[in-house]
């Protein structure tokens, strides 16, 4: 019999880099504002559901939390809790940023893909990237944003966001000795 070698347990804080992935979707509803990446877009429908429905900020928040293997957005801010009804999703993002900083990490870069039929994201992409960069405290050239239409998905009334983030050890926190 081959003996299993006892491995030294690697602590999470020893990782120099970490990756996080987030995904979210919301259905369009008439008569509410449309917020994507913290930017209000001029459109006759908005994204309903939990909080202000900002599908991109929710996916970014989950990606950040996932990067440090933290609890997800729905656990931290349950949709069933009335205090988060109509809430500004920037609050969720800031809590995720606080948690990654406390874990000793900073955001290096982010990439995202939005999937929605309308409105066209292209004309607003620069503004959304700029807003997300400023919320995360990273340069605009570290925020990727692509928009696709849901070809063949029979999904014309929803917006979906996929996000990956790359985290690096924060220089602000002194390394433990």
Q: Hey, which residues between 33 and 92 contact Zn ion (CB under 5 A)?
A: 58
Angle between helices 55-67 and 90-102 (to 10 degrees): 10
List phi, psi (to 5°) of 166.
Answer: -115, 125
Closest CB to Zn ion among residues 49, 150: 49
Q: How far is the CB of 7 from Zn ion (least distance, A)?
A: 38
C-beta of 8: minimal distance to Zn ion in Å? 39
Return the residue of 18, 20, 24, 66 that touches Zn ion, per CB under 5 A: 24
Provide the minimum distance between the beta carbon of 136 and Zn ion in the complex, in angstroms, as a whole number: 18
In DSSP notation, 95-147 reads HHHHHHHHTTEEEEEEEEEEE-SSS-SGGGHHHHHHHHHHHHTS-GGGEEEEE
Our CB check for Zn ion shows the closer of 58 and 169 to be: 58
Contact positions toward Zn ion, by CB under 5 A?
24, 58
């Amino acid at each position: 019999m081959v003996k299993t070698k006892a491995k030294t347990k690697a602590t999470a804080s020893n990782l120099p880099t970490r990756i996080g992935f987030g995904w979210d979707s919301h259905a369009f509803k008439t008569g509410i504002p449309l917020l994507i990446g913290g930017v209000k877009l001029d459109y006759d429908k908005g994204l309903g559901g939990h909080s202000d429905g900002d599908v991109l900020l929710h996916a970014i928040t989950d990606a950040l939390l996932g990067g440090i293997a933290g609890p997800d957005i729905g656990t931290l801010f349950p949709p069933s809790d009335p205090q988060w009804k109509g809430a500004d999703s920037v609050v969720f993002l800031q809590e995720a940023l606080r948690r990654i900083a406390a874990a000793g990490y900073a955001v290096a870069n982010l990439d995202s893909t939005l999937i929605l039929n309308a409105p066209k994201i292209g004309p607003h992409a620069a503004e959304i990237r700029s807003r997300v960069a400023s919320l995360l405290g990273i340069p605009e050239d570290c925020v990727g944003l692509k928009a696709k239409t849901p070809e063949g998905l029979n999904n014309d009334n929803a917006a979906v966001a996929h996000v990956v983030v790359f985290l690096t050890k924060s220089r602000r926190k002194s390394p433990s000795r």
